[in-house]
Homo-oligomer: A and B are copies of this chain.
Amino acid sequence: MILSKTSEYALKILSFMATEDYPQYTAHLLYEKLSIPRRYGSRLMTDLAKSGFIKSHRGRNGGYVFAKKLEDIYLSDIIDSIEGFENFDKCLIGLYQCDLDNPCPLHEIWAETKQKVIDTLSQTSLADLQHTNIEDL
């Protein structure tokens, strides 16, 4: 499962904005290019603005721009704002007490992989992405 649909949308939108240079991005443009349901995407944009990743400019000629520097927005921050990043540091089978001293049967085999997932997402910022043509995919 890995990520919720909404997290996928959020990452898709923000990574598009980070890698394709426009002076400003309208919601309309983003839904078209990224095949995201309009109404749902609209609410998501508002959430992303409230979370402080982007700034909205209302009214005619309005749109969105980043509210922070790209290198200050980590993928884990985005995921955290949508579905909570704690989920990724959980025991694989959901046990609360599971740790190195009191491991579940899967702890050992999962620990290193889990850490790599966490590290990758929390050490990669929007400034670290490839500049590719996402709209064609």
Contact = CB atoms under 8 A, between A and B. Distances in A.
A34 B11 CA distance: 36
Contacts of A130: 103-108
Most chain B Cβ neighbours within 10 Å, of A18, A98, A134:
A134
Contact of A116 (B90, B94, B96, B113): B113
B106 A11 contact: yes
Interface in A89-104: 90-98, 102-104
B113 A131 contact: no
A105 B3 CA distance: 17
Contacts of A120: 109-110, 112-113
Contacts of A93: 8, 11-12, 15
